[in-house]
Amino acid sequence: MFKRMREDIRCIFEQDPAARSTIEVVLTYSGLHAIWAHRFAHALYKRKFLFLARVVSQVSRFFTGIEIHPGAVIGRRLFIDHGMGIVIGETCEIGDDVTLYQGVTLGGTGKEKGKRHPTLHNNVLVASGAKVLGSITIGENSKVGAGSVVLKDVPPDSTVVGIPGKVVITNGVRVKEKLDHHKMPDPVEETCDQMKQEIAQLKSRLAELEKMGGERHEHTNL
């Protein structure tokens, strides 16, 4: 247990340049508190102490602002950065070295039974405000851009952005290690730019047709 706790603290120092001392991390990092509380709640959940498990998870939610269902399976070195508003559902499975930012939801769509929450493989990053919904899989080394809503599986080594989420980088082409949120590709903006170009072409063509029609009318009058 203490080995895992030391590993969690070391992970924070590796991921967060604002971490200055061990005592600061242990006492003030709500993401760390939520992970530790979840381990206790999950142990109770596996032993069928379901009510006590939910009590622990709700107390943790009250103090940290992070809601993790006791049934969720979480791997090693999960890093929760500024975790206020994060929600992790009951059947969610999270691999090792995963990073979650504030406002992330790993939830269901309300339609499934059984496995109804996402599976995140190793080294996945989910940026601020993203929603990953349903029994879908996010492949290893993939990134989910800020504010995205992901409803379909994401292959490994991919980047997905937008509403609904669309894969914009895949086939082993990796994004740089530190996700630069404001420079993420935006498929919606790209579609709007394409529509603007097509509208401009249509206007130009319409003007040409109107000009041809006017010339024919003048020729007929002559």
Q: What is the pLDDT along the chain (222 residues), one digit of tens a residue?
A: 788 888 889 999 988 888 889 999 999 999 999 999 999 999 999 999 999 999 999 999 999 999 999 999 999 999 998 889 999 999 999 999 999 999 999 998 876 678 899 999 999 999 999 999 989 999 999 999 998 999 989 988 888 998 888 888 776 554 444 445 445 566 677 788 889 999 999 998 888 888 877 666 666 655
| Whole-number pLDDT of residue 177 | 45
| Whole-number pLDDT of residue 2 | 80
State the pTM of this model: 0.71
d(CA 121, CA 56): 26
Q: What is the 3-state secondary structure (H, E, C) of the chain?
A: CHHHHHHHHHHHHHHCCCCCCHHHHHHHCHHHHHHHHHHHHHHHHHCCCHHHHHHHHHHHHHHHCCEECCCCEECCCCEEECCCCCEECCCCEECCCCEEECCCEEECCCCCCCCCCCEECCCCEECCCCEEECCCEECCCCEECCCCEECCCECCCCEEECCCCEEEECCCCCCCCCCCHHHCCCHHHHHHHHHHHHHHHHHHHHHHHHHHHHHHHHHHHC
Pairing mode, strands 99-101 and 79-81: parallel
- ω into 164 cis (within 30 of 0): yes
Superfamily, domain 2-180: Hexapeptide repeat proteins (2.160.10.10)
| Whole-number pLDDT of residue 175 | 44
